[in-house]
Amino acid sequence: MKMTFQKLVIGASMAIGISTLATAPAHATSFSFNNPNEIKTYTGGSNGIFKANDTVAASKALSDSNPSSNVELWYSTENPTSNVGFTATQGNYSATVTSVTVSDWNSLGSQWLNDLLNTYTPFKSVWNGFSATTQSLVASYFPSLGMGDPNVGSFQFGENGGVDLTLVGHLDVKTKLSDTLSTKLNEAWNGGVKLLFPTNTSIATASQVQTKISALQLTLSLPQTPAATKSTLTTQIAQLTSFKDLLNFQAALKTYQGEIGASEIAKVVTGNKTYYAYSFSPTASGITASDDGVSYSAYYNWHTPGYTPPQKQVPESSVILGLLSVAGVFTTRRKLKKVSI
């Protein structure tokens, strides 16, 4: 009878402890995806695998504390045409993280450019030397840089409901920027600039372009030049000036010796506010993607203003008391057994 009573006490104490653990507040974050067909997950490390359209794998990658596992938002091309991503929910907190579209660049462009130039100051003087037409032209290139399909390595809500993201990308995007600039120069050359240099067998140099600009300006200044011709000359001068500016920018990019770290960009909507998550401060990841051996070489951290990391969760006092009561019962049982002996 005494043993039966002890078993009942132990069972009740354990039930209380387990019940208390079961009712302890949960802090898990849930994820829902607005277009799973444009979601691709990388499982992590240098030998990871890719899983397309797998929301279970994507949710795990976002919350597994391993930033090398990541979720690409809008993976079919590098230039998203819609905001594809996920909504994260934890208690009363909610945040939506998506790809960035051309429309978003209209709001984002100036801020992103200023931050870029303030980070990589050698390019600031080059940019300031551009004509207004060239600056507007270069700004129109931003959406084609392929930075609006972010790879999100981790997501976390803060103590105050703020958001923290890890973006996975390249340690140095200089080659990517140079390739984009070369493409635009070729397009401009074949789109009309070439006609002004009939003897050239390759793209004109900045010096050749400046010589041509000076000649056109001289003709433009002559009193006998017809008005219709002056209009054409004005257009050609503006076209050549922008072309020369781009050539100078390309030259500055080629001579720049350092790395250019720039993350991809995610659109974050939380607390009725819209943010654009990006960074120019890379941290080497120590891994590269299994498919190309180049991607995922850097992590970029971003968080909302005033973000406070969540506190580490510890058992509540009621949980601790429940566990102590179980331990106490076992101790009492051992003492009773010794007395009975």
At residue 87, the pLDDT reads 98
pLDDT more than 70, % of the chain: 84
Task: Give the residue, 259 or 323, on which the prediction is more confident.
Answer: 259
At residue 27, the pLDDT reads 65
At residue 245, the pLDDT reads 96
At residue 159, the pLDDT reads 92
The Cα–Cα gap between 80 and 91 comes to 31
Report the chain's terminal Cα–Cα distance, integer Å: 16
Label residue 325 by pLDDT band (50, 70, 90): low
Label residue 313 by pLDDT band (50, 70, 90): low
At residue 296, the pLDDT reads 97
At residue 6, the pLDDT reads 53
The Cα–Cα gap between 114 and 211 comes to 32
At residue 184, the pLDDT reads 95
Q: Is the pLDDT of residue 83 over 60?
A: yes
DSSP for 40-93, written as a single string:
EEE-SSTT--EEET-HHHHHHHHHSS-TTSEEEES-S-SS-SS--EEEEEETTE
Q: Which residues pair with 89 in a beta bridge?
A: 30, 94
Label residue 333 by pLDDT band (50, 70, 90): low
Please state which of the ranges 252-256, 291-295, 312-316 shows the lowest mean pLDDT: 312-316
Closest of 224, 94, 96 to residue 161, by C-alpha: 94
Q: Could you give the dihedral angle defined by the CA atoms of residues 112, 250, 178 and 116, in that order, rounded to the nearest 10 degrees? A: -20
At residue 250, the pLDDT reads 95
Q: Is the pLDDT of residue 9 over 70?
A: no
Query: In 120-226, which residue ranges form alpha helices assigned H by DSSP?
Result: 124-128, 132-141, 174-190, 206-221
Please state which of the ranges 11-20, 48-57, 130-139, 246-255 shows the lowest mean pLDDT: 11-20
**Residue-wise pLDDT tens digits, 113-150:** 999 999 999 999 999 999 999 999 999 999 989 999 99
The Cα–Cα gap between 341 and 331 comes to 16
**Residue-wise pLDDT tens digits, 203-252:** 999 999 999 999 999 999 999 999 999 999 999 999 999 999 999 999 99
Q: Where are the domains of the chain?
A: 2-24+315-340, 86-303
- Which residues are CB-contacts of 172 (< 8 A; sequence separation ≥ 6)? 259, 260, 261
Please state which of the ranges 79-83, 85-89, 207-211, 329-333 shows the lowest mean pLDDT: 329-333
